[in-house]
Structure formats: structure tokens, C-alpha cells
């Protein structure tokens, strides 16, 4: 059995905000698999799928900072190993729309990840990160940034990233983690074009 956890905050006011990108990805998977988040248990909304093994999509209802309460409860109840828990998170240290997949890692200041580490008792679980860009480096700006939505080019980049991350997770269910990281840890196309243009100018 595997758990795919999308991090976010429940409530209309948080829909489609930067901090809810994890919810967006699990909702995309639910749409692809024709399942719905119509059940709530252990402080999470969940949808069940078999591919062919059982997969639970989770949206914790505890708000971001206590995400580990739900993740820990499901992991312990179903005896799911940390390697089989994929956590989808936003990452301010990545350009908007960039994907980064890791086997494990530090919380990097992300409170939802900190909570999951606490409740699982380990940091050794896969991270599926989508970049949301970074504002000015002060707490007020960061809070405003993560709780606001996307517009213009960022919106297009994030819509593409959500699709790509859903693809990556479908591959994770069937393939070796190294192959998944190799295939999806790429910079956004726009970033590649800009780098190429800079190199041309330098020449």
C-alpha cells in the first residue's frame, strides 16, 4: 500500500493559493483515476484507488502546520513504510513551476514537512516539490506570498507543473525512484531558454 499526501489548507479562501499546490496535484490524480475525496477519517479527506495495489490520496484537514497528525495516523494504522509515503509540497526556493523530487531531506523551513517528520519519527520519505518562487525575505512577505494565488505566466507554469507532477507520481507507483528523479528533475522550459539566450549574448 502507498500513501500520496498533498499538503495544503482546507477552506474556500485557500483554494488555488501557492501553499495549496499539494492539494492541486492530488485533486488532479483523483480526476484522472475517477475517484473522489468523499470520505474523511483520521483528520484527512481521502480517496482510494488500486493500481493494482491500494493507493490512498490524502488531503489533511488539520491545516498545514499540523499535517503530520493525519499522515502519522494513516501510516501507523495501515503500517505504511516511510518509503511508500509520497508528500507533495510547495517550495519557495525553486522558481515557479520547477519540479524537484527527492528520496528524503530536511524540512527546509516548511512547517507541514516538519510536522510530518515529527509524527513519522523520520525524514526518510519521498518529497515531490513544486516551486512557487520567493518574495522579499521577511516573514510578512512570505506569509502573504504563500497565501496568494498565481497569475499570468506563473499560473500557466503552475498548471503545467501540476500535470507533470501527477505524471511523476503515476510513474513513482510503477518505477524505481531513481528513474522518476532522472525523468522529472528538470528546469522549466522558460528557464532553459533564458539561459541559452544569456549564453548567446556572452558569446
Q: Which residues are catalytic?
A: 19
The DSSP secondary-structure symbol of 96 reads: T
* Cα–chain center distance at 70: 16
**Nearest by Cα to 102 from 23, 25, 168:** 168
Alpha-carbon distances of 31 from 35, 85, 190, 198, rounded to whole Å: 6, 20, 28, 40
Whether 53 and 98 have beta carbons less than 8 Å apart is answered as no
Q: Rounded to whole angstroms, how far apart are CA atoms 70 and 59? A: 9
In a 3-state reduction of DSSP, which class is residue 46?
strand
Amino acid at each position: 500500500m502507498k500513501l500520496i499526501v498533498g499538503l495544503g489548507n482546507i477552506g474556500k479562501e485557500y483554494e488555488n493559493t501557492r501553499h495549496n499546490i499539494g492539494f492541486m496535484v492530488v485533486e488532479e490524480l483523483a480526476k484522472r483515476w475517477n475517484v473522489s475525496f468523499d470520505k474523511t477519517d483520521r483528520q484527512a479527506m481521502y480517496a482510494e484507488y488500486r493500481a493494482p495495489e491500494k493507493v490512498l490520496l490524502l488531503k489533511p484537514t488539520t491545516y498545514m502546520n499540523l499535517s503530520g497528525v493525519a499522515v502519522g495516523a494513516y501510516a501507523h494504522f495501515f503500517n505504511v513504510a516511510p518509503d511508500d509515503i509520497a508528500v507533495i509540497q510547495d517550495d519557495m526556493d525553486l522558481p515557479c513551476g520547477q519540479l524537484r523530487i527527492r528520496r528524503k531531506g530536511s524540512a527546509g523551513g516548511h512547517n507541514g514537512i516538519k510536522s510530518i517528520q515529527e509524527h513519522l519519527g523520520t525524514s526518510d520519505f519521498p518529497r515531490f516539490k513544486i516551486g512557487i518562487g520567493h518574495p522579499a525575505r521577511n516573514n510578512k512577505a512570505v506569509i502573504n506570498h504563500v497565501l496568494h494565488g498565481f497569475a499570468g505566466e506563473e499560473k500557466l507554469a503552475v498548471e503545467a507543473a501540476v500535470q507533470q507532477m501527477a505524471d511523476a507520481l503515476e510513474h513513482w507507483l510503477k518505477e524505481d525512484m531513481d528513474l522518476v528523479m532522472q525523468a522529472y528533475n528538470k528546469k522549466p522550459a522558460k528557464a532553459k531558454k533564458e539561459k541559452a539566450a544569456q549564453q548567446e549574448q556572452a558569446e
